[in-house]
A = this chain, B = another copy of it.
Amino acid sequence: MTKKDPLEIIREISQKISKLEIRGATKITIEALKALREFVKYAPKENFHELFKDAINMLLKSRPTEPAMQNGIKYVLYTYNNLAKKNASIDEIKEAIEITSMKYISMIKHAIEKIVEIGWKRIPDDGTIMTHCHSSTVVRILIEAKQRGKSFVVISSETRPMYQGRITSRELAKSGIKVYHIVDSAMRWAARHFKPDLALVGADAITSTGVIINKVGSRLLALTAKEFDIPLYVAATLLKLDPRTAFGEYTPIEMRDPSEVWPDAPENVIVLNPAFETVSPEYIDGIITEFGIIPPSEVLRAFKELYKEIWQISKEYRI
């Protein structure tokens, strides 16, 4: 790899993120920050400042509903700004960006370790658990529970249009967990039929009032869980909290390409492909975070306590 276009690195990763070739909030975050580190390595000193801003913007736009990544990028941006203000040398800046990127990656990894450590204990032995879409955190919790000797069954819904539920089903089955796999619209049928003990999903974003934004269909799972009073837990790092929501803004809901749903839809049929939807806090029994299992209303306060710096940055760097 002799000469590399540094923005190309960012462009490539942004596209992979955008096309769901890289998916899952944690992976996206890690890959984005790794790319940033890589970018820094190859970016020429001459026009480093402009290139860096382009890189930042490109990444932020790759998926609009990913606060974990956005918090990470802002974290790096904060370091950059501080040094830039002080007229630090490009080399100093580059090194600082690399270190900050790695630090954020380690923060998110550590957060997930803790969530898994806490979460597996909530999996009821001989129980039935419903999930939707693919959350690597949820999958890890379930596998951990299995490895700790718990026996249980998982109901997994396919998650149209991109079938991420199949990844979940495959990974769980590979770990020896019994999986019932259904179409998304069979959620309520499955809840009536199997009477699950728990519903467990991940989150793509969390707002200041404890609203969860997750894969479209999650609210239907929440409505189903409510109907049968099945406890619904969300497993997610607090790094997914979108601090802008505390200041009035809405987290945007990503609308994806209609062709993912129906490539050859006839004329006059407008295909809509929203990626996410909200789950209101009254549907959520607990959020399994690196801070412990907390009620949804506690997320902002826990975020402020654990991630003071990011909170500080957010107040200053509101866009």
A interface, CB within 8 angstroms of B: 117-122, 132, 157-161, 166, 169-170, 173-174, 176-190, 192-193, 195, 208-210, 215-217, 219-220, 223-224, 227-229, 245-250, 253, 261-262, 265-274, 277, 280-282, 285-286, 288, 292-298, 300-301
Contacts and interface: CB of A to CB of B under 8 A. Distances in A.
Nearest to A246: B292
A136 to B, nearest CB: 18
Contacts of A189: 216, 219, 253, 274, 277
Contacts of A267: 173
Copies of this chain, complex-wide, total 6
11 contacts: A182-B271, A182-B272, A182-B273, A183-B184, A185-B215, A186-B216, A187-B220, A208-B294, A209-B294, A247-B292, A297-B297
Nearest to A166: B262
Given A181-B261, A248-B119, A293-B245, A266 B173 contact: yes
Contact of A269 (B118, B169, B273, B298): B169
A247 B280 CA distance: 24
A268 B174 CA distance: 8
A130 to B, nearest CB: 13
A269 B170 contact: yes
Given A160-B184, A169-B265, A272-B182, A208 B293 contact: yes
Nearest to A297: B295
Contact of A181 (B249, B272, B293): B272
B188 A220 contact: yes
A158 B160 contact: yes
Contacts of A177: 268
Contact of A268 (B158, B179, B184, B229): B179
